[in-house]
Amino acid sequence: MSMDIVIAGFGTVGQGVAEAIGLRKDMIRETFGREARIVAAFDSRSAIHSEDGLDPAVLLSNKAAGQVGDEPLVDGVAFLESIDYDVLVEVSPTNIETGGAGLHHIRSALSNGRHVVTVNKGPLALAFGELDRLAKENGVEMRYEGSVGGAMPIINLCRESLMGQNITSVMGILNGTCNFILSRMDDGLPFEQALKEAQELGYAETDPSYDINGVDTACKVVILANSVFGIDCDYDDVDVSGITAITEEAVAMASDQNYCIRLIGEISPDRLEVSPRLISKGHPLSVTGTLNVAQVNTDLAGPISISGRGAGRMETASAILSDLLAIMRSNVNNK
């Protein structure tokens, strides 16, 4: 018996998922007595499918040569509805305006009784309530740990490890690109030079607007608000300010007072906000570089901090693998 997986989107993260499944296949078999098989994958142009399972190494080789499969892809939803599988791993490009193809893929999977694991922030930021209801109505799981902090397990921490706590708020640095830029400004670089360095190192896109305008962080605020606090909200409910107006003088003035400036996402029952904040040096949220960090404030345990790499091929794939194994464990236990 196996858990059959489809990977929708075969860019950097999709390739990382295939590699991670290949690396952990023996551990999965020994732990669960089942195989985790990739039975299909598709990118924007092509698809590949085999009921007998696909070798992750072959998928990676195919992609390196240009495209993941030799079957032209016309419609991702039609392809999904033509094959049999258990779990959709949705890692197609994020579109915050419409939800993109990923929203249609996830709707299709949940409506047809398939589990979903995703790191695609667009569908979750725009239609979380709808997708959550679809999952519950069809008796399947939708998991999305890697959508907020990459390898930082903030959602599972709040929903599972802190289940007995009353969580009053979550505050954190949820975008490594902005944190890198602000860290370099701490060293005296002007904003434009710090941004250019981030782009040269691959931390920022050619068009960095989602990051530096706070859009990416706001999407993550929405996901945490819905999943941790049960607030039925979307992107438009978040007050958002980015980091483009922060000057060298402001950073230097903060440093003179033993503070640094960081872009903070805050989630509580009465506040959804993304904004630059003064953080005292030495505080858990005063980290440097590309790290993500969050502070969860609880009534019984007090503040709990967690950090980790917020992006990267294998870092994000590790969060997806964790969600896949959680679904496998749940199904084994239920049976």
Give the DSSP letter string of 82-103.
TS--SEEEE-PPP-TTT-HHHH
- Contact between residue 28 and residue 325 where contact means Cβ atoms under 8 Å apart: yes
The catalytic residue among 63, 136, 196, 220 is 220
| CATH (domain of 301) | 3.30.360.10
> Tokens 């434009």 correspond to what residue?
192
Say whether both 132 and 11 belong to one domain: yes
Say whether both 83 and 12 belong to one domain: yes
- Work out whether the CA dihedral 158, 167, 147, 100 comes out positive or negative: positive
Say whether both 106 and 24 belong to one domain: yes
Q: Which pair of tokens denotes residue 257?
A: 């007072």
Say whether both 320 and 206 belong to one domain: no
Say whether both 298 and 165 belong to one domain: yes
Side chain identity at 102, as an amino acid letter?
G
Query: How many distinct structural domains can be found in the chain?
Result: 2
Residue 234 DSSP symbol: -
Say whether both 279 and 159 belong to one domain: yes
What pLDDT is attached to residue 335?
Answer: 45
Domain with 277, as residue range(s), is 155-310
- Alpha carbon of 6 to those of 79, 121, 296: distances in Å? 11, 19, 34
Residues whose CB falls within 8 Å of the CB of residue 157, separated by 6 or more in sequence, listed in order:
296, 304, 306
What are the φ/ψ torsions at residue 169 (nearest 5 degrees)?
-165, 160
Q: Which pair of tokens denotes residue 284?
A: 């858990």
| CATH (domain of 127) | 3.40.50.720
Say whether both 303 and 238 belong to one domain: yes
Burial class (CB in 10 A: 0-12, 13-18, 19+), 75: exposed
Of the candidates 78, 71, 16, which has an alpha carbon nearest to the alpha carbon of residue 49? Answer: 71
Q: How far apart are CA 292 and CA 152, in angstroms?
A: 7
What pLDDT is attached to residue 202?
Answer: 86
Say whether both 143 and 169 belong to one domain: no
DSSP, residue by residue, 273-318: EEEEEEEETTSTT---TTEEEEEEEESSS-EEEEEEE---HHHHHH
220 carries an active-site annotation? yes
Say whether both 117 and 247 belong to one domain: no
What pLDDT is attached to residue 332?
Answer: 59
Q: How far apart are CA 120 and CA 266, in angstroms?
A: 21
Say whether both 128 and 60 belong to one domain: yes
- Alpha carbon of 225 to those of 106, 234, 269, 292, 320: distances in Å? 20, 9, 8, 18, 20
Question: Which residues of the chain are under the pLDDT cut of 70?
Answer: 332-335
Say whether both 184 and 277 belong to one domain: yes
Q: How far apart are CA 261 and CA 249, in angstroms?
A: 12
Say whether both 160 and 138 belong to one domain: no
What pLDDT is attached to residue 175?
Answer: 95
What pLDDT is attached to residue 334?
Answer: 55
Residues whose CB falls within 8 Å of the CB of residue 294, separated by 6 or more in sequence, listed in order:
149, 152, 154, 170, 171, 172, 173, 174, 305, 306, 307
